[in-house]
Amino acid sequence: MKAVIFVVHGSQIRQKNKALAKLINQVSEILGAYADLYQIAYLERQADTIEVVTQRVVIAGADELVIVPVLLFPALHALVDIPTQINDALGEFSKVKVKFLKTFAEEPAVFEILLDRIKEIDNYFPNAEIILLAHGTRHFAEAEAGLSRVAKRLSQHTAKIVRPVDYLGKKTYQSVIKGNLQHSIPQVVLPFFIYDGVLVEKIYHSVQSLSPLSEIPFVETLALDQRIVSALVNVIQKEKQFDTNFVKLTT
């Protein structure tokens, strides 16, 4: 018996959890007979933890698990926390086969959402640089590399300057935005997150603090766009896995 476990971060905002769960349920409906069981597990803030959900499906008879990180980039959660918690939860069930799939930031459907955001920006700020701002990580190099690939493709498709920056990794957003302000270069921040929430609001205020005299335009996230369903379906149907040895930056 095959079970798919979607692992999400979990939000402090209840409505965001419900909305994301609704999208994931659509993924499950599309996949249909691909698996016998579909479950959502949370990294934080919910009773359905990875341990609880993993043991639930195994006790129900699952002997094959497909783990889907509903996360944009490969960082500590996708590469360390999720595999560790899954393996710990399996415990004595050592015969259960587990397949860890990749994150979905570089899926074509996500790229289309970002293109639409840039088109919207171009309607109001045609000369602005796009600041593609992602969460970032201090632990692995691949998240930054993936963000750079997305930014490069966007720039090639739109003929606009798209600067990949992160909030928590090298904190490159500060130097890039400050540099543009110093040289009077118009810029718009495109937050590369699945939905807006507490963290995105915090990032918004951090960005605005860099420009006390004028507001820096800040557009919508992926905002749980319906095309996220297509992105996840594509990852699962093709069982896409990471094909690299990850470069760990810190312990």
Residue 224: which of 196, 200, 191, 199 has the closest Cα?
196
**Does 251 have pLDDT greater than 80?**
no
Give the pLDDT confidence score for residue 92 in this predicted structure.
83
Kind of pairing between the strands at 129-134 and 37-42: unpaired
**Does 250 have pLDDT greater than 60?**
no
- Average pLDDT score over the chain: 94
Segment holding 68, helix H or strand E: strand 64-69
Task: For residues 174-195, give the mean pLDDT.
Answer: 97
In DSSP terms, 248 is beta-bridged to 140
Q: Is residue 45 very low, low, confident or very high in pLDDT (cuts 50, 70, 90)?
A: confident
Q: Which residues contact 106 (CB under 8 A, 6 or more apart)?
A: 146, 149, 150
**Does 50 have pLDDT greater than 90?**
yes
Give the pLDDT confidence score for residue 93 in this predicted structure.
83
Q: Is residue 241 very low, low, confident or very high in pLDDT (cuts 50, 70, 90)?
A: very high
Whether the CB-CB separation of 41 and 8 falls below 8 Å is answered with: yes
**Prediction pTM value:** 0.94
Residue 86: which of 122, 128, 56, 46 has the closest Cα?
56
**Does 158 have pLDDT greater than 90?**
yes
Q: Is residue 245 very low, low, confident or very high in pLDDT (cuts 50, 70, 90)?
A: low
**CATH topology identical between 2-103+226-237 and 108-208:** yes
- The pLDDT tens digits of the residues spanning 131-143 come to 999 999 888 888 9
Give the pLDDT confidence score for residue 59 in this predicted structure.
94
CATH fold for the domain made of 2-103+226-237: Rossmann fold (3.40.50)
Give the pLDDT confidence score for residue 140 in this predicted structure.
85
Give the pLDDT confidence score for residue 244 in this predicted structure.
64
CATH fold for the domain made of 108-208: Rossmann fold (3.40.50)
User: Where on the phi/psi map is residue 211: left (φ > 0), alpha (ψ -120 to 50), or beta?
Assistant: beta
Q: Which residues contact 26 (CB under 8 A, 6 or more apart)?
A: 229
**In the chain, pLDDT over 90 holds for what percent of residues?**
84
**Does 218 have pLDDT greater than 70?**
yes
- The pLDDT tens digits of the residues spanning 164-181 come to 999 988 878 999 999 999
Task: For residues 58-83, give the mean pLDDT.
Answer: 95
Residue extents of the structural domains in the chain: 2-103+226-237, 108-208
In DSSP terms, 129 is beta-bridged to 187
- The pLDDT tens digits of the residues spanning 101-124 come to 999 999 999 999 999 999 999 999
Residue corresponding to tokens 């951090």? 206
Whether the CB-CB separation of 63 and 70 falls below 8 Å is answered with: no
Least confident of 59-68, 133-142, 212-221: 133-142
Give the pLDDT confidence score for residue 237 in this predicted structure.
98
